[in-house]
Copies of this chain bind each other. A is one copy, B any other.
Amino acid sequence: MNINKNKMIDFNTLSIQYRDELLENVIPFWLNHSQDKDYGGYFSCLDRQGNVYDTDKFIWLQGGRQVWMFSMLYNSVEKRREWLDCAIQGGEFLRKFGHDGNLNWYFSLTREGKPIIEPYNIFSYTFAAMAFGQLSKATGNEEYAEIAKKTFDIILSKRSNPKGKWNKAFPGTRNLKSFSLPMILCNLSLEIEHLLDNEFLKKTIDECIHEVMEVFLRHELDGLIVENVNEDGSLSDTFDGRLMNPGHAIEAMWFIMDLGKRMNRPELIEKAVETTLKTVEYGWDKEHGVYSIYGP
């Protein structure tokens, strides 16, 4: 792919096409097929016709994606009752069954809500926090706001060892820090901005921007982003240290653009655009036309 040779894109037409596809096709599909009317929550394993082929319920998909999506649509697009009802029923399922009673969010549940996989994965927490952030906005319910805020605090307290006792790295030999947590915190902090103290929000955002744009984005690699670095911020010449994930990097640049807009920092948006283009160029497999995920 040579991105310089693309034809001019008509963003107006594109934006209408995306909006129509979303509101007339994607959202009705999930609204009609994914809600579990018997046990609450959502099915996320659907075939293209909307038939359920497995009933396991994954917290990050339940919460982060679906409760968040329907709350966000209600908050930002239109006050449709069916969207709010869909979000609330999923939020209630999560509130009752998604965690261990102390907001430690399981990875997955059975259809009925029994835990299958322990709360080892920090992204169950981050997506739950986002979900309850949007849901509290949509409903004004104080309990939902509390869940989002407390979960956010737990996430921050787990920053140095997100997997806790399920961490398989032997302590001390090769302590790496991972891109994915600061990256998602860029996104999460804006999602629950309405619940956070201003000073604290600013401090957290500054830290995340620093981590993403000055620690994981590497000047010696011509501005590409790596997935893991040593704790002191240096590059690690190991399997994990050489790992690059273009999809992750591009996703992070979207979050950085949002932050650039919110913080009124146009130079951050510029840098994110530049990094996205570099990542696309570098990650694109010119022979087979897909992203290769390993480098450099």
Contacts and interface: CB of A to CB of B under 8 A. Distances in A.
A174 interface: yes
A238 B108 CA distance: 13
A116 B56 contact: no
A68 interface: no
A53 to B, nearest CB: 10
Interface string A171-211: 00110000000000000000000000000000000000000
B170 A115 contact: yes
> Within the oligomer, what is the number of copies of this chain?
2
B120 A173 contact: no
Given A56-B238, A110-B174, A174-B110, A116 B169 contact: yes
22 contacts: A54-B238, A54-B239, A56-B238, A56-B239, A107-B168, A110-B173, A114-B170, A114-B173, A115-B173, A116-B169, A116-B170, A116-B173, A116-B174, A117-B168, A117-B169, A117-B170, A118-B168, A118-B169, A118-B170, A120-B168, A165-B165, A166-B168
Interface of A: 54, 56, 106-107, 110, 114-118, 120, 165-166, 168-170, 173-174, 238-239
